Structure 1
C-alpha cells in the first residue's frame, strides 16, 4: 500500500550529506552519512524532485557513496543510461562540496535527496516480502541457488 509521507514527518529521518566529486571526474556523487544503515552493493530507490530512480551503494576509502541514479534496477547495477543524480544536481544548481539532505523514508529501501530547507512529499511503499524478493532476484538472473529446475 502506498502512503504519502512529507519529508518533515516524524517517521522520516533526515541526515545531512554532501555532494562530492566522483573519482577523477567533475561529476557529483552523493556521500552518504555514517548514520545511514546501508552496505556496499545495496540497491535502493532514490527520489530526486519527486521522481523515483534506482541506485547502487558503493564505497571508497572515506565511506559509502552513490555515484549514479538510473531509471530501473538493471540500469543501476550496470550503470547504463542517463545518470539522473548528475541531472538533478545540475537542475538544482548543486555540485561537489554542496550540502544536501538525505531522507530515510523506508530504511534500507527508499531514500530521498533534496536541497536543505526544501520540503517534499514521498510515496512510501513497503519493501516486498523476502519471498517475493527472492523470486524477483531469481527471475532477474541473480539466483545463487544451484537447485533450480530446468
Structure 2
C-alpha cells in the first residue's frame, strides 16, 4: 500500500492567483522558481484528484501553472481538455491576488494545490527512473 502524507508533512511553496491573457484566465505564479521543473508535465493533485499540469514560464520567465488536465497530452495542448484547476478555483471562490499553497509531494514530479487554511492528504508517489519516464513520454506522444 502506498504511503499517505499530509500537507503539514511536506514542503509548501506559495503561489499567487493571477489573471493572464485577453480573457482573464487564472494562473498560479510560483514564488520559488527552483521548486518546480519549468517546461515539464507534472502530476498535480487538485481536490483529492490527480491530474497532469505543465509548468510554463510567463513573459518574465517566472514559473506558472495554468491548468490541470486528465492526461499529459492534454496538459501539453490545454485547449483540447477540461481545465480542472480552473473549475477548482471557481469552487473555492478566491479573489485574484490571493495565495494558493503548492505542496511538494515528490520534488519535480508530484504537487498538490490547496486554498489557504485547508489541509490535504496525498498518496506519496515515487518518481519513476528517467528511462521509464522517457518511454512514457514517447508513448504519450
| TM-score, normalised with respect to structure 1 | 0.85
Matched, 1:110 2:110: yes
Give the secondary structure class of the aligned counterpart of 1:2.
coil
CA deviations 1:43-79 (Å, max 9, x no partner) are 1111111111111111113311111110111111111
Partner SS for 2:8: coil
The CA RMSD over aligned residues, in Å, is 1.5
Q: Give the corresponding residue for 1:81.
A: 81
Listed as ranges, the gaps of 5+ residues in structure 1 are 142-150
CA contact (8 A) 1:70 1:76 kept: yes
Q: CA deviation at 1:137?
A: 2.3
**Structure 2 segments unaligned to the other structure (5+ residues):** none
1:8 is paired with a residue of what secondary structure? helix
Count of aligned residue pairs for this structure pair: 139
Distance 2:95 2:71 in 1: 24
- Contact kept? 1:89, 1:95, Cα under 8 Å: no
In 2, the alpha carbon distance for the partners of 1:71 and 1:36 equals: 25
> Runs in 1 of length 4+ with deviation above 3 angstroms?
none
Structure number with greater Rg is 1
Larger helix proportion of the pair: 2
Question: TM-score if structure 2 supplies the norm length?
Answer: 0.90
